[in-house]
Amino acid sequence: MAKTAYTGFRFEGEKADLETAARKAVEYMDFKNKRKEVLEDGFIYSAREKRRWLTNNHPVEVAIEAKRSGEHWAVLIEVSCYPVSFTQDAHNRQRALEIKEMILSFAMGRVL
């Protein structure tokens, strides 16, 4: 059974600024296996957290998906993990919020 946490926001700004912010967030958080998939109306960044020893939580997989929604960008951040520990739910939610805050701090636009 996988545990998944979601968060998101709407962004008003340039696609290039949003892409750069997502890439910087993934790099800053020291994830590995980074991939970028270009969509017709957006992009998806995927990455995986490195294995950390002496912790109850398993490494998470992250997907940052941005799609054009009218004049703005809708950004969905999905953090999931399989297998899971009994504290994994809280860990996944916290990682999703950390990634969101990291993107918002790097983004050169307005959050709605």
Residue spans per domain, the chain: 3-111
Q: How far is CA 71 from CA 1, 14, 22, in A?
A: 38, 10, 19
Average pLDDT over every residue of 52-64: 81
Instruction: State the pLDDT confidence band at 97, using cuts at 50, 70 and 90.
Output: very high
DSSP for 12-50, please give it: ES-HHHHHHHHHHHHHHTT-EEEEEEEETTEEEEEEEPP
- Is pLDDT of 25 > 80? yes
Phi and psi for 84 in degrees, rounded to 5?
Answer: -130, 155
pTM tops 0.85: yes
Percent of the chain with pLDDT over 70: 98
Instruction: State the pLDDT confidence band at 9, using cuts at 50, 70 and 90.
Output: very high
- Is pLDDT of 32 > 90? no
Given the candidates 3.40.1190.20, 3.40.50.2300, 3.30.310.80, 3.90.870.40, the CATH classification of the domain at 3-111 is 3.30.310.80
- Give the Cβ contact number of residue 42 at 10 Å: 18
E-strand stretches of 49-106: 61-69, 72-81
